[in-house]
Structure 1
C-alpha cells in the first residue's frame, strides 16, 4: 500500500476495487487521439479507474476519503457494464495496518455516486448494514438531498442500497466544514450538484483532493471534463480556481481513481516535479 506523509497526516491508499469505463465518457469532447496519449485504453476503448479510498491518520483519528466499490454489491451484469475486474478489499487493507472498519471515525464523501458509495454498506444475510458503524459520514447537504431523491439522470448512480442503511450516520454541511484540525471539505458542484473537494493542511504542507473534478492526472487541462459531469462549466470554473491555488502553494494533488499516480505535484509549467506512483 502506497503512503504519503504530509506534515502530521499519514495518507495510505487502500484497495477499493477497480472499474474500466469508456474513455470517451471520461474525457467528454476531447478527441481520443489527444486523451489516449496521456491515459491508455484497452481494445474496448475502456480506461482503468481505481476506486481506492484514502485513509488519513492524524491525532489518533482515522478518516477515509470515499469508500470503494464494495464487495458483493454488484450484479454480474453491473460488473460487466462497469468493467469491474476486482472488488473492494478495504477491510483486508485496514487489517494490514492493524485496524478494522470499527476504527474509522469519519468518512468524507466528496459525492455519492455508486463507485464512491457502494463500499458504505454490505449484505449481512438478507439485509444491508453499515460497513463502518462508528463513523460519521460527511457529505454536502445538496449531495445528500439528491442521493435520496435523484432526478431522471442521476437515479442511475444514486442507489438506495448505498444510503438507507447508513442514513443515521450522515452529517451534512452547506459551503464548507472542518472535520478535524486542518482537514476541510468545500462544496464545489460541477461533477454533481453536491460535489465537494477535500483540503488537507499540516505543518505548512498541503494536499488538494479534487475528487472527480480531476479524477486522473490526465485531466489536468481545465477544459478536459467528463461527459458524466452534470454541470461541466462549473467543473471548469472550479478547476480554474483550485489547480492554480494548489500549484502556487506547492501542494500535492491526490487521486481516488488514477491507475498510475496516487499523488503528484506540478510546477507552474504543468510539469510533474514529485509523485507517488501506484505499485502496479
Structure 2
C-alpha cells in the first residue's frame, strides 16, 4: 500500500475495488486524440479506475475518505455495466495497517454515488447494516438530501441500501466543515449538486482532495469535465479556483480513482514536480 506524509497527516491508500468506464464519458467533450495522450485505454475504449478509500491518520484519529465499491451488493447486470473487475477488500487492507473497521473515527464522504458509498454498508441476512459503526459520517447537506430523495437521473446512483442503515451516524454540513486543525471539507457542487472536496494545510504543506472534480491526474486541465457531471460548468469554475489555490501552495493533489498515480504535486506554474506511483506502476 502506498503512503504519503503531508505535515501531520499520513495518507494510506486502501483497496476499495476497480472498474472500467468508457473513456469518452470520463473526459466529456474532450476528443480522444487529446485525452488518450494522458491516460491509457483498452480495446473497448475503456479506462481503468480505482475506487480506493484513503486512510487519513491525523492527531491520533483515523478518517476514511470515501468507502469503496463494497462487496456483494451489485447485481450481475450492474457488475457488467459498470465494468467492475474487482470489489473491495477493505478489511484486509485495514488489517495490514493494524486497524479494523471499528477503529475508524469518521468517514469523509465527498459525495454518495454508488462507487463511493457502497462500502458504507454490507449485506446482513435479508437487510443491510453499517460497516463503520463507530464512525461519524460527514457529507454535505445538499448531497444527503438528494441521496434520500433522488431525481430521475440520480436515482441510478443514490441507493437506499447505502443510506438507510447509516442515517443515525450522518452529520451533514452546509458550506464548509472543520474536521480537525487544518482539515476542512468544502461543498463545491459540480460533479453532483452536493459534491465536496477536502483541503488540509499544515504550515507550508498542503494536500487537496478534489474527488470527482479531478478524478485522475489526466483531468488536470481546468476545462476537462466529465460527461457524468450534473453541473459541468460549476465543475470547471471550482476546478479553476482550487487548482489556482493549490498551485500557489505547491500542494499535493490526491486521487481516489486514478489507476496509475496516487498523488501529484505541482509547482506554481502547474508543472508536475513530484508524484506517488501506484504499486506495480511507474507512470511517466
Given the two structures, how large is their TM-score scaled by the length of structure 1? 0.98
Residue equivalent to 1:234: 234
Equivalences for residues 139-154 of structure 1 within 5 A: 139-154=139-154
The answer to whether the aligner puts 1:181 opposite 2:176 as a matched pair is: no
Determine the structure 1 residue equivalent to 2:75.
75
Deviation at 1:271, TM superposition (A): 2.2
CA-to-partner distance for each residue in 1:107-161, whole Å, 9 max, x for gaps?
A: 0001000000000000122210111000001000000000000011111010111
Q: Which runs of 5+ in 2 are unaligned?
A: none
Q: Secondary structure at the match of 2:85?
A: coil
Structure 1 CA distance for aligned equivalents of residues 106 and 180 of structure 2: 9
Q: Distance in 2 between matches of 1:202 and 1:19?
A: 34
How far is 1:183 from its partner?
1.2
Paired residues for 1:151-162 under 5 Å: 151-162=151-162
Of stretches 64-73 and 266-275 in structure 1, the one that deviates more from structure 2 is 266-275
1:204 deviates by 2.7
Cα distance in 2 for partners of 1:260, 1:266 equals 17
TM-score for both structures, normalised by structure 2: 0.97
Q: Counterparts in 2 of 1:110-121, with a 5 A limit?
A: 110-121=110-121
Equivalent runs, 1:86-125 vs 2, <5 Å: 86-125=86-125
CA contact (8 A) 2:73 2:118 kept: yes
Contact 1:8 1:203 in 2 (8 A): no
Give the corresponding residue for 2:46: 46
Specify the SS of the correspondent of 1:37: coil
Q: Per-residue deviation at 1:203?
A: 3.8
- Structure-2 separation of matches of 1:252 and 1:22: 27
Counterparts of 1:114 and 1:81 in 2: how far apart (Å)? 13
Q: CA deviation at 1:29?
A: 0.3
- Give unpaired runs (5+ residues) of structure 1: none
RMSD: 0.8
Q: Distance in 2 between matches of 1:130 and 1:72?
A: 14
Corresponding residue for residue 199 of structure 2: 199
Whole-Å separation in 2 of the counterparts to 1:236 and 1:268: 19
SS of equivalent residue, structure 1 residue 85: strand
**Is residue 9–residue 56 contact of structure 1 (8 Å, CA) maintained in 2?**
yes
- Aligned-partner SS, 1:246: helix
C-alpha displacement of 1:269: 3.6
Alpha-carbon distance between aligned partners in 2 of 1:274 and 1:264, rounded to the nearest angstrom: 6
Name the stretch that deviates more: 266-275 or 184-193: 266-275
Deviations 1:213-259 (CA, angstroms, capped at 9, x unpaired): 00000001111000000001100000110001001101100000001
In structure 2, distance between residues paired with 1:179 and 1:266: 25
Residue matched to 2:28: 28
Alpha-carbon distance between aligned partners in 2 of 1:19 and 1:279, rounded to the nearest angstrom? 17
Residue 241 of structure 2 aligns to a residue whose secondary structure is: helix
